[in-house]
Amino acid sequence: MEVTQQMLIDAQNALHALLTGSAVAEFRDQNGETVKYSKANKSDLMAYIDWLKSQLGMAVRPAGPMRVWM
């Protein structure tokens, strides 16, 4: 659980760096492989963050706008 929590923190930091233009986001996954993200695959990084949150039992952002049924 601690490893997954750290991975989530790393991924969120990578997304922040990516969105603020600080750098190309790069970090190691749980298998020790280096993963690089650029503006072109921002959605992949956001999906990875959602997956990590689900692994930790955290709420995941909704996929789209809520619909109201009457």
Written out in words, the top-level CATH class of the domain with range 2-55 is alpha beta
**Residue 6: pLDDT band with limits 50, 70, 90:** very high
Contact (CB, 8 A) for 67 and 44: no
Residue 64 has pLDDT above 70, yes or no: no
Residue 29 amino acid letter: D
Q: Is it the case that residue 63 has pLDDT exceeding 70?
A: no
Query: Looking at the predicted structure, is the pLDDT value of residue 40 above 60?
Result: no
For the entire predicted model, the pTM comes to 0.57
Give 63 or 35, the one with higher predicted confidence: 35
Q: Which residues contact 33 (CB under 8 A, 6 or more apart)?
A: none
